[in-house]
Amino acid sequence: MKTLLRPLCAAAALTAMLAAPMAAQAHRQWMLPSMTVLSGTDPWVTVDAAVSNDLFVFEHVPMRLDGLVITGPDRAAVAPQNAATGKYRSTFDIPLTTPGTYRIASVGDGLMASYKLNGEQKRWRGAASELATAIPAEATDVRITHSQRRIETFATLGEPTTEALTPTGQGLELAPVTHPNDLFAGETAQFRLLLDGQPASGVEVTVIRGGGRYRDEPGEMKLTTAANGLLEISWDEPGMYWMEAEVRGGKSPIEGAERMAVYVGTLEVLPE
């Protein structure tokens, strides 16, 4: 499969448009869990979801919650509680009723089109089912992008488990080698990046530690997945980390569309 890597900012701009109609330029999408490693009998995790430049600061627009997919340790869907959307962020709670690992994701699948009509540049965004009627027959320079995005994080009550992390085989995903809720500063974690369930090699991955507003350097790591899709991340410091990868190209089920797959993950690294 031929994959093309494009500048991340362009991808971020497009996905930000998808996630939040008001976003005008490149912004980062993220979810921020209150805790990722939990003990006890009835703990809850509360999650903030937003689109912003600074990680993890609510300063731009909230993330829409219509694509939430929460998977419990038994792979059953978990319904979010107390979901709300404010000016800068959305929030929801998850009761961890079963021990194990929860996968908390916002999954999006949609189309973006640009075309010219009577010399005017037009844009359209919508679902595949609307495509046939969305673009006038006389439009020229039609360019369709099929966007698949996954923004996710993880939380574990008790021992980490992997059932919820079973790949869906759709778009870009992160498969664990190191468990995403077993990350510690001073150690190196390994993950496998998958595209449609297959190892995605040579993909650039950006990793940024949160709290950038308290330091001068952006603290950004640029990594590339190995031939088998393997991604190695060395954690120098504890903290909440944001990671993003994007793959452009490859076959889309939508005729004439270019596929763009985006993965965003929030991972917590604990001190030793």
Partner 1 sequence: MRRLASAAVLTGLMAGPAAAAELNLSVEIPRMSVAEYHNPYVAIWVEKPDQTAVKTLAVWYDIKLRNQEGETWLKDMRQWWRRAGRAMDLPADGVSGATKAPGRHQVRFVGGKAPLGTLPAGQYNLVVEAAREVGGREMVRIPFQWPPKAPAAGQAKGETELGAVSLSLKP
- Per-residue tokens: 154: 């993880």
Q: For partner 1, which residue of 67, 158, 176, 199 counts as binding (CB under 8 A)?
A: 158
Q: Is 43 in the site for partner 1 (CB under 8 A)?
A: yes
Q: Is 38 in the site for partner 1 (CB under 8 A)?
A: yes
Nearer to partner 1, 238 or 250 (CB): 238
Q: What is the C-alpha to C-alpha distance for residues 226 and 203, in angstroms, rounded to an integer?
A: 8
- Per-residue tokens: 91: 């929030």
Q: What is the C-alpha to C-alpha distance for residues 12 and 206, in angstroms, rounded to an integer?
A: 12
Total binding residues toward partner 1, as defined by CB under 8 A: 15
Strands 198-199 and 188-195: antiparallel
User: What's the min distance (Å) between Cβ of 33 and partner 1?
Assistant: 14
Span 165-204, contacts to partner 1 by CB under 8 A:
182, 184
Contacts of 42 (CB under 8 A, 6+ apart): 95, 96, 97
Q: Which amino acid is at 175?
A: A
Q: Is 270 in the site for partner 1 (CB under 8 A)?
A: yes
User: What's the min distance (Å) between Cβ of 35 and partner 1?
Assistant: 8
In sequence order, what are the beta bridge partners of 184?
270
Q: Is 95 in the site for partner 1 (CB under 8 A)?
A: no
User: What's the min distance (Å) between Cβ of 40 and partner 1?
Assistant: 4
- For partner 1, the binding residues (CB under 8 A) are 37-43, 158-160, 182, 184, 270-272
